[in-house]
A and B are shown apart, each in its own frame.
Chain A
Amino acid sequence: DGGITQSPKYLFRKEGQNVTLSCEQNLNHDAMYWYRQDPGQGLRLIYYSQIVNDFQKGDIAEGYSVSREKKESFPLTVTSAQKNPTAFYLCASRPDRGNYNEQFFGPGTRLTVL
């Protein structure tokens, strides 16, 4: 089956720890995105990547880091510098063809800081 997978589904972190969220896609999409979702605030863009080995900051990049070493993978690290990391994290991808803008989302990872 083609799609986007995120792991783990639930993640618990102690304060001061870095954690890495996994995002993998087998859709052969060029562009990938990370969003954060908090109640009542919709989705906010953390980082995005349009091509391997290149990525750009979104609106709320502080305290997060990413890498894009392979087309299929776009992991997100939540560092200890992120002051309020408890949220639902969503990864998305998009085929890079013209003005086609549909993004396909993964099932999400719920991160809780203990």
Chain B
Amino acid sequence: QKEVEQDPGPLSVPEGAIVSLNCTYSNSAFQYFMWYRQYSRKGPELLMYTYSSGNKEDGRFTAQVDKSSKYISLFIRDSQPSDSATYLCAMIGSSNTGKLIFGQGTTLQVKP
């Protein structure tokens, strides 16, 4: 069983839809949770960064962490064609090595 599970999709939605992307994990030591966005043939870029449980909002993006269920989500409101990309969840415990554990990535397509 992988430490982090993410539905690879692909996920296709119409423009303006609300998108929900999810990851589950098994290691209760994870404390820092990140979402990266990766456009085709590019390197990933950090989208959201949260510590422990709770919600964090940044414009059209909301990240949720539920440590009791070992479940994290990324919501995209009013999705745009420019949001079409692969979204990777990543997480880490308290280790200072910076070794991130990534999910498989979900490919999202937003159709105009």
Q: Name A residues whose Cβ lies closer than 8 Å to a Cβ of B.
A: 4, 31, 33, 40-45, 48, 50, 56, 58, 88, 90, 92, 94, 96, 98-99, 101-108, 110
Q: Does B43 make an interface contact (CB < 8 A)?
A: yes
Q: Does B41 make an interface contact (CB < 8 A)?
A: yes
The answer to whether A101 and B42 have CB atoms under 8 Å apart is: no
Q: With the chains together, A33 CA to B100 CA distance in Å?
A: 10
Q: With the chains together, A42 CA to B100 CA distance in Å?
A: 11
Of the A-B pairs whose beta carbons lie under 8 Å apart in the complex, a sample of 24, sorted by A's number, is A4-B43, A31-B98, A40-B104, A40-B105, A42-B4, A42-B6, A42-B88, A42-B102, A42-B103, A42-B105, A43-B44, A43-B88, A43-B100, A43-B102, A48-B99, A50-B97, A56-B97, A88-B41, A96-B96, A98-B96, A101-B49, A102-B46, A102-B49, A103-B100
Q: With the chains together, A38 CA to B99 CA distance in Å?
A: 18
The answer to whether A105 and B34 have CB atoms under 8 Å apart is: no
By beta carbon, the residue of chain B nearest A94 is B98
A-B contact count (CB 8 A): 65
Q: Name B residues whose Cβ lies closer than 8 Å to a Cβ of A.
A: 4, 6, 8, 32, 34, 36, 41-46, 49, 88, 90, 92, 94, 96-100, 102-105
Q: With the chains together, A101 CA to B36 CA distance in Å?
A: 13
Q: With the chains together, A31 CA to B98 CA distance in Å?
A: 8
Q: With the chains together, A85 CA to B96 CA distance in Å?
A: 29
Contacts of A40 in B (CB 8 A): 8, 104-105
Q: With the chains together, A88 CA to B96 CA distance in Å?
A: 26
A21 → chain B closest CB, angstroms: 13
The answer to whether A110 and B41 have CB atoms under 8 Å apart is: yes
The answer to whether A107 and B43 have CB atoms under 8 Å apart is: yes
Contacts of A104 in B (CB 8 A): 46
Known A90-B43, A107-B43; 19 more pairs at CB < 8 Å: A33-B98, A40-B8, A42-B88, A42-B102, A43-B88, A43-B90, A43-B102, A45-B100, A50-B97, A50-B98, A96-B98, A98-B96, A101-B34, A101-B92, A102-B49, A104-B46, A106-B43, A107-B42, A108-B42
